[in-house]
Amino acid sequence: MTESTSASRAGEPLLVIDDLVVEYPAKGFRKQPFRALKGVSIDIKAGECVGLVGESGSGKTTLGRAVLGLAPVTGGSVRFKGQEIGHLSRKARRALSDEIQVVFQDPYSSLNPSLTIEQTLAEPLRVKKMSAADSSKRVRKLLDQVGLPSDAADRLPREFSGGQRQRIAIARALALSPELIVCDEPVSALDLSTQARVLDLFKDIQEETGVAYLFVSHDLAVVRHLSHRVAVMYHGEIVEYGDGDKVTSDPDHPYTQRLLLAAPVPDPIRQEQRRADRRRLLESQREMELQAGAV
Amino acid sequence: MSESAMTSNPPVAAEVRAARSHLARRMLKNPTGLAAIIVLALIILLAILADVLAPMDPSVANINDVLAPPSALHPLGGDSAGRDVLSRLLFATRFSIAGALWAVLIAAVIGVTSGLIAGYYQKWFETVSVWIISVIQALPGIVVLLAARAVVGPSLWLIMAVFGLILSPAFYRLTYTAVVGVRNELFVDAARVAGVGDVSIIGRHILSVVRAPIIIQAALLAGIGIAVQAGLDFLGLGDAKLVTWGQMLSDAFSRMYQAPTLLIWPSLAMALTSVALVLFGNALRDELERAAGKPKRRRRGVAAVAPKVATEKPVTHAEAQGDARSTLLEVKDLVVGYDQPDGSLKQVVNGVSLMVRKGEVHGLIGESGSGKTQTAWSILRLLPAGGRIVAGSVVFDGKDLAGLSERDMVKLRGRRISYIPQEPMSNLDPSFTIGSQLVEPMVVTLGISKAEAKQRALDLLGRVGLPDPQKTFSSYPHEVSGGQAQRVLIAGAVSCEADLIIADEPTTALDVTVQAEILELLRDLQNDLGVSILIVTHNFGVVADLCDRVSVMQNGLIVETGPARAIFADPQHPYTKALFEAILEDGAARGPLAHSADRNTVTVRSTVTEKSAR
């Protein structure tokens, strides 16, 4: 019994979020705070990619920010390697920087326009008191890892395209070899072909380094491509959570079903089919709702 | 199709970078800026070197030189006490400038520091500091200064320090606003996640953004500082032991009728300094605001750069069956370009030919920078400033729009060709109700009465699937969701019975479930009204859902065109093929995680569940 408890402690996933509540205070006196997350539970194992799908306002970005310590945790817990990180002080939070990192959606505003790529990439290294020579070496290696030429180091962000900037953002996230990277819609602002290549980069890096991802996206196809498991968020709650293939191809929850059939397939013939399926699904869900209301 | 191909032209990027990173150099190239800098530098130099340059001690009075005219010994003459005016002017420059700078320094230290802290941390510090700042601003400055003078005595430095405090709200507000604008930028969040401390973040990421506006503000406030300081001295409230411009003025004023020229020198010095400071601030602001040079209009008589029209023909798929529908819009060899600051032309569309038949939905698909939106805008003749149709024709219903006057074009837009934009929210005016924004165009273009137009608008709002047309009609744009706003804009686009709707990424900003509804709506309306639609998009799903025919764009050219089904079934051009390969839909799923640590967890968990089940 004791053995199994300790084993389960040792085997506890990398990140465990339990009944997490996040509330943003409303402006104005005695206004009800806005509850962005209403009790969310999710876990991520080492080396795993968990996809988080939802539409705007579903709370998916808030969940990512809560893990990063950028959103106010009102209730529940966020445990990273068994340590509670939901209410850390700024200082304690800073110490976590070599374990949890982030790649944001907007490759334009996520890089300081007035700093060169090297300055941006070296920032986390400098914080960890790495020497200038070592950090310069590390920066070249990072650039190489994300497929950028090493002369990129001396240039400014504005000289790069969206896809290249996102590679720089990924390099920054990798700088301290973290164990978990929160990816907040990292490919949504990118063109189709760039998107595919950046996703492959994410996959390669994961296979190489064993880093875990919390991958937030509104696009089921993107999440399906990269995620081992997928969670679907709706109105601040997780409505479906499970195997990536199952959730993205044969979901159980009515909302996920609607979401899946709403995305148009890039094939006119099959899209016609999907349109009919969607109409049927909406019809049947409406009927069920009516019946539920009648009862 | 490498990523580097998608960056803007390297020389342009380098140019922009050079322009931005060398603000100081640009200031020196700006004639106003350069003049202001030279004048200010001279004045400061004179102030510093007053000891060396002054021919005599400014406080030594010689009874023989009272109101002496200019002479070799006294180039500017003597004042009412027989002191050398030139020497006094030089020393006055030193103390007046120092006093003003002292006040600005105090103001900047208090204002910028508190602004940074309040903007970055907010919470209680923000609340308290806003109260204090508001109180300071509410106090009448001159009265406070007079009161302070009574308390601290006639000390230039103490008085100017008090004045600095009175000026500090200007810096506070400026810094606070700038910091609030930057603190939520993602790069600040990224730095926090990277473990960078707050002090470092403020110093590195935030101060760099607010630096330039602070310099501008400081220049303007220094001018005010000089004026106020002179005012106090003029009133005789200053330190009698120090010579300043204000004191010289006061002295000259008392002898205005005997020696009017005495007034000139201090006045001139003050005016010159203040004007230089203001011009310096203005020039700096201009240089900051101007990211790139204004495009030069091509001068008449100068030969136009010959447009480069690509000759490659797109891969064209045969029609499945003969399409008998007549042509509504025919674009031929369209070239669109933007005039550059150096007089050259940057081409963004390089010879596009495309045809839209009556009642057809034509998809224009491509990645960012392919020129698809530029093509759509040039059909509407709504290119942004600097852009123009360089060559080619846009024949709409027998008329070439490329050569039409702006007046005729206005008649056509809305009436015959309408537009659905990408960002529904930013295309509705927040200060008018949705109803009035629908009614007005109808009254203008259809010439119907307001009541009729209102009825029509209500019908349309119902038609586009809004649950409560009356309520939406009287709402303001911020009261409806993005999907609803797009429905409103679609209602607007069909309200004047246009023959062609140009839809620029109409669903890109919407959630996928809302997108499905909007696509459904567009299809229904198109069926009912038989209108032609040219839809610009980057999403192959949208094309598959809606379009009869597709044109694929790359680098300002159409590379492949034909019936949608034919292209989807058998793409020919390498670029189209590459795009199709990049599509993720229906790709294999990643599958469950399989590595040792994970297997451990799974087994442990299953034993636990078994145990608890027993």
CATH superfamily of A11-99+179-248: P-loop containing nucleotide triphosphate hydrolases (3.40.50.300)
Look up residue B346 and give its two tokens.
């940057």
Residue B272 to residue A19: CA distance in whole angstroms: 68
Strands A49-53 and B399-400: unpaired
Mean pLDDT of chain B: 83
CA of A72, closest CA in chain B: separation in Å?
14
Range with the lowest mean pLDDT among A271-275, B316-320, B344-348, B589-593?
B316-320
ipTM of the complex: 0.83
* Contact flag A259-B586 (C-beta cutoff 8 Å): no
* Contact flag A127-B194 (C-beta cutoff 8 Å): yes
Compute the average pLDDT of residues A135-150: 89
Band (pLDDT 50/70/90 cuts) for residue B573 is very high
Compute the average pLDDT of residues B19-34: 75
Q: Are A229 and A45 in contact (CB under 8 A)?
A: no
Q: For a pLDDT cut of 90, what percent of chain B falls above it?
A: 29
Band (pLDDT 50/70/90 cuts) for residue B2 is very low
Chain B partners within 8 Å of A55 (Cβ)? 511-514
What pLDDT shows up at residue B320?
62
CA of B357, closest CA in chain A: separation in Å?
20
| Strand partners for B399 | B396
Residue B184 to residue B507: CA distance in whole angstroms: 27
CA A66 vs CA A25, A26, A86, A88, A100: distances in Å:
15, 18, 7, 11, 12
Chain A partners within 8 Å of B601 (Cβ)? 11-13, 45
Kindly report, residue by residue over B495-551, the tens digit of the pLDDT: 888 899 999 988 887 888 888 988 998 898 899 888 999 999 988 999 999 999 999
What pLDDT shows up at residue B292?
44
Domain ranges of chain B: 29-58+87-289, 308-412+501-583, 417-497
- Go through B163-202 and write b for each residue having 16 or more CB atoms within 10 A of its CB, e for each that does not: bbbbbbbbbbbbbbebbeebbebbbbbbbbbbbbebeebb
Range with the lowest mean pLDDT among A101-115, B212-226, B352-366?
A101-115
Kindly report, residue by residue over B226-258, the tens digit of the pLDDT: 999 899 888 888 887 888 899 898 888 888 888
Comparing alpha-carbon positions, the chain B residue that sits nearest to A206 is B593
What pLDDT shows up at residue B597?
46
Residue B492 to residue B446: CA distance in whole angstroms: 13
Chain B partners within 8 Å of A224 (Cβ)? 584, 587, 589-590
Selected residue with higher pLDDT from B348 and B73: B348
Selected residue with higher pLDDT from A151 and B293: A151
Tell which phi-psi region holds residue B591, choosing left (phi > 0), alpha (psi between -120 and 50) or beta.
Answer: left
Kindly report, residue by residue over A78-87, the tens digit of the pLDDT: 999 988 998 8
Residue given tokens 């120090």 in the structure block: B242
Look up residue A21 and give its two tokens.
């509540």
Look up residue A221 and give its two tokens.
């196809």
CB atoms within 10 A of CB B437: 18
Q: Is the pLDDT of residue A11 over 50?
A: yes
Mutate to test the interface with A, among B123, B585, B602, B614 (most CBs of A within 10 A): B585
The CATH architecture annotation of domain B308-412+501-583 reads: 3-Layer(aba) Sandwich (3.40)
Q: For a pLDDT cut of 70, what percent of chain A falls above it?
A: 95
Residue B170 to residue B196: CA distance in whole angstroms: 30
Comparing alpha-carbon positions, the chain A residue that sits nearest to B21 is A114
CA of A289, closest CA in chain B: separation in Å?
18
**Chain B contact for A268, CB < 8 A?**
yes
Q: Is the pLDDT of residue B403 over 90?
A: no
Nearest one of A249, A198, A273, A231 to B587, comparing CA atoms:
A249
**Chain B contact for A5, CB < 8 A?**
no
Range with the lowest mean pLDDT among A135-149, B70-84, B461-475?
B70-84
Compute the average pLDDT of residues B286-291: 70
Compute the average pLDDT of residues B101-121: 92
Helix (H, G, I), strand (E, B) or coil at B106: helix
Comparing alpha-carbon positions, the chain A residue that sits nearest to B517 is A262
What pLDDT shows up at residue A295?
59
What pLDDT shows up at residue B12?
38
Q: Is the pLDDT of residue B598 over 90?
A: no
Chain A partners within 8 Å of B514 (Cβ)? 55
**Residues 83 through 122 of chain A touching chain B, CB cutoff 8 Å:** 90, 94-98, 100-102, 104-106, 109-112, 114-115, 120
Chain B partners within 8 Å of A229 (Cβ)? 592-593
Helix (H, G, I), strand (E, B) or coil at B391: strand
CA of A294, closest CA in chain B: separation in Å?
22
Chain B partners within 8 Å of A117 (Cβ)? none
- Phi/psi at B327 (5° precision): -80, 135
CA A221 vs CA A13, B135, B366, B550: distances in Å:
26, 57, 19, 23
H helices present in A96-219, as ranges: 117-127, 132-145, 162-174, 192-209
How many interchain CB pairs under 8 A, A with B?
237
- Which amino acid, B574? P
Compute the average pLDDT of residues A54-68: 89
* Contact flag A224-B21 (C-beta cutoff 8 Å): no
CA A162 vs CA A111, B184, B274, B479: distances in Å:
11, 20, 45, 33
DSSP per position, A228-264: SEEEEEETTEEEEEEEHHHHHHS--SHHHHHHHHHSP
What pLDDT shows up at residue A3?
39
CA of B460, closest CA in chain A: separation in Å?
23
Helix (H, G, I), strand (E, B) or coil at B556: coil
Q: Is the pLDDT of residue A8 over 60?
A: no
Band (pLDDT 50/70/90 cuts) for residue B606 is very low
Q: Is the pLDDT of residue B602 over 60?
A: no
What pLDDT shows up at residue B268?
92
**Chain B contact for A204, CB < 8 A?**
no
* Contact flag B196-A124 (C-beta cutoff 8 Å): yes
Domain ranges of chain A: 11-99+179-248, 110-175
- Phi/psi at B78 (5° precision): -115, 160
Compute the average pLDDT of residues B275-283: 92
The angle formed by the CA atoms of residues B172, B177 and B179, to the nearest 5 degrees, is: 95
H helices present in B204-260, as ranges: 207-234, 245-254
Compute the average pLDDT of residues B460-472: 88
| Strand partners for B16 | none
Band (pLDDT 50/70/90 cuts) for residue B301 is very low
Band (pLDDT 50/70/90 cuts) for residue B342 is confident
What pLDDT shows up at residue B365?
92
What pLDDT shows up at residue B402?
85
Band (pLDDT 50/70/90 cuts) for residue A29 is low
What pLDDT shows up at residue A192?
83
Compute the average pLDDT of residues B70-75: 81
CATH superfamily of B29-58+87-289: MetI-like (1.10.3720.10)
Selected residue with higher pLDDT from B447 and A49: A49
What pLDDT shows up at residue B455?
92
